[in-house]
Amino acid sequence: MKHIFYQALRRSRPSMHAYDVALLWGVLILLAFGLVMVYSASIAMAEVDKDTGYRSTYFLVRHSVFLVLGLAGGFIAFNIPTKTWQQYAPLLFIVGVILLALVLVPGIGREVNGSQRWLSLYVVNLQPSELMKFIVVLYAADYTVRKAAFMGGDFVASITKGLLPMLVVMLVVGGLLLLEPDFGAFAVITAIAVGLLFLGGFDWRLFAGLIALLAVGFVGLVVSSPYRMQRVLGFLDPWQDPYGKGYQLSHSLIAFGRGEWTGVGLGASVEKLSYLPEAHTDFLMAIIAEELGFVGVAVIVCLFAFLVFRAFMIGVQAAKLDRAYQALLAQGIGIWFGVQSVINIGVNMGLLPTKGLTLPLLSFGGSGILANLVALGVLLRVDFENRQALRGFKP
């Protein structure tokens, strides 16, 4: 009786695809959501802004172009073997650091809203910190594999040989990011690096201490800079100063409250009518919440959870196949998407201080979309190679 059941179960399994179809669909759905919501959130703002030439489709057109470019970039990334990425990871990392440094050079870097994050490339503006997140995944995975010997075992060796080089490198990157300032990217990159070290088997007791140290550092940074201090205090109680420090967050929360179960309907948001700043980028989730309601929010969160879950599972599969670099690569991407989406949505919901971090795959922004889709191309590539390996090919 039992074996007939298992047999039936086996039969009902779909034939094995060459790549992860479910993950691809999940990504495409998120991208479609993003395209519609970026248009909806930006339409009223674009219409009255002279920078957009009063064209309501300004952001829609640009976001579509970014999606095409990003999908092309993702496709190319999918066709590059992961070994190649591993090989060029240190080089890419150096390029990334140079780009981050260039941003800070006056005349080359471009300042928007008090942050110098963009490189002006005539046609488009490049945001190196977005690319850096991807590069850090490549680099940290490679680093962890290279330093395999110092991950566990001797306490002193793991600190001096395992942790210290990474710490120095990350201090450089983190310092550059904080100079922009881009606190959000700093948080994401730190999470990726620390997460990959942890996954790589770094002594967990050292981790506990490290995390405590980081927490102290975080608090120190926040307290030392009035700019960050203000952002932190604004989030603790936006209703204390709803027209000043808490302005953006209070409007974001109002958007959530207005949404209720199913939202006020697509296009019917009031918050996007110049009330909520950055509605099409950092606070896109608030507009989704207002127009599509709790249902919309839950769907987006679940899609992200699924994406992260798949990334980790691909990593587990790779680990089973003794492909440590690929495993860390996939899980690093998972951490990246997980942490960034959690922070962004958490900011929108008033759980975290405002950081200036976009919602991956959905928010408007060329560099972000490109980096996200290239990373997902790599993730699918890892999965593709896993499947090839299972079929007996040697990737």
Partner 1 sequence: MNAPTQPRTRQRFVQQLKLERWRVWFILAGLMILFGVLIARGFFLQIMDEGFLQQQGEARYARTLKLEANRGMITDRNGEPLAISTPVQSVWVSPRSVKLLPPGQKRPAGWEPSSEKEPVPMSREELAQLAKAVDMPVKVVESRLSTSRKSGDKPDFVWLKRHMAPQDAKKVLELNLPGVYAQTEYRRYYPAGEVTAHILGFTNIDGKGQEGFELTRQDMLAGKSGSRTVIRDRRGFIVEDISTIIPPKDGETLTLSIDRRIQYLAYRELKAAVEANKALGGGIVVLDARTGEVLALANTPSYNPNSRARIDPARRRNRAVTDLYEPGSTMKPITIATALESGKVTPSTVIDTTGGAMGMAGYTIKDTHNYGALTVERVLVKSSNVGTARIALAQDREFLWQHYDAIGFGQPPRTGFPGEASGKLRAWKTWRPVEQATMAYGYGISVSLMQMARAYQVFATDGEIRPVTFTKQVAPLPGKRVFSPEVVREVRLMMEKATQPGGTGTRAQVVGYRVAGKTGTAKKVGVGGYTEKRYVGSFVGFAPVSDPRLIVAVMIDEPHGDSYYGGTVAGPAFSNVMAGSLRMLGVPPDAPTDNILLPGQDEPEVPEET
**Contact with partner 1 (CB under 8 A): which of 322, 391, 392, 394?**
322
Contacts with 377 (C-beta within 8 Å, 6 or more apart), sequence order:
73, 74, 75, 76, 77, 78
The tokens describing 289, both together, are 């919440």
* Helix/strand/coil for 124: strand
Q: Which is nearer to partner 1, 2 or 50 (CB)?
A: 50
Instruction: Say whether residue 156 binds partner 1 (CB under 8 A).
Output: no
Q: Which is nearer to partner 1, 153 or 217 (CB)?
A: 153
Q: Measure the CA–CA gap between 49 and 47, rounded to whole angstroms.
A: 6
Task: Report, in Å, the least distance between residue 348 CB and partner 1.
Answer: 9
Instruction: Say whether residue 382 binds partner 1 (CB under 8 A).
Output: no
Give the footprint of partner 1 on residues 165-204 (CB under 8 A).
Answer: 195, 198-201, 204
The secondary element (H helix, E strand) that includes residue 216 is helix 204-224
Q: Which is nearer to partner 1, 120 or 274 (CB)?
A: 274
Q: Measure the CA–CA gap between 189 and 97, rounded to whole angstroms.
A: 13
* DSSP character at residue 112: E
Q: Which is nearer to partner 1, 81 or 244 (CB)?
A: 244
Instruction: Say whether residue 319 binds partner 1 (CB under 8 A).
Output: yes
Give the number of residues in contact with partner 1, rule: CB under 8 A: 70
Instruction: Say whether residue 394 binds partner 1 (CB under 8 A).
Output: no
The alpha carbons of the chain give a radius of gyration, in whole angstroms, of 22
Q: Segment near partner 1 (CB under 8 A), from 33-41, 58-66, 242-250, 369-377?
A: 242-250
CA torsion angle for 366, 372, 378, 379 (degrees, to 10)?
-160
Instruction: Say whether residue 242 binds partner 1 (CB under 8 A).
Output: yes
Q: Segment near partner 1 (CB under 8 A), from 16-24, 98-106, 332-340, 379-387?
A: 332-340
**Contact with partner 1 (CB under 8 A): which of 61, 149, 172, 213?**
149
Q: Measure the CA–CA gap between 386 and 393, rounded to whole angstroms.
A: 9
Q: Measure the CA–CA gap between 395 and 251, rounded to whole angstroms.
A: 51
Per-residue binding letters, 116-145, with partner 1 (x by CB under 8 A): ----------------------------xx
Q: Measure the CA–CA gap between 161 and 68, rounded to whole angstroms.
A: 43
Instruction: Say whether residue 148 binds partner 1 (CB under 8 A).
Output: yes
**Contact with partner 1 (CB under 8 A): which of 80, 159, 301, 388?**
301
CA distances, 98 to each of 37, 101, 115, 177, 182 (Å) = 34, 5, 18, 12, 16
Q: Which is nearer to partner 1, 263 or 377 (CB)?
A: 263
CA distances, 29 to each of 32, 206, 278, 338 (Å) = 5, 40, 23, 17
Instruction: Say whether residue 351 binds partner 1 (CB under 8 A).
Output: yes
**Contact with partner 1 (CB under 8 A): which of 18, 48, 216, 219?**
48
Q: Measure the CA–CA gap between 83 and 329, rounded to whole angstroms.
A: 11
Asked if 299 and 328 touch (Cβ cutoff 8 Å), the reply is no
Binding site for partner 1 (CB under 8 A): 44, 48, 50, 144-146, 148-149, 151-154, 195, 198-201, 204, 239, 242-244, 247, 250-251, 253-261, 268, 270-271, 273-275, 289, 293-294, 297-298, 301-302, 304-305, 308-309, 312, 315-316, 319, 322, 324, 327-328, 331, 334-335, 338-339, 342, 345-346, 349-351
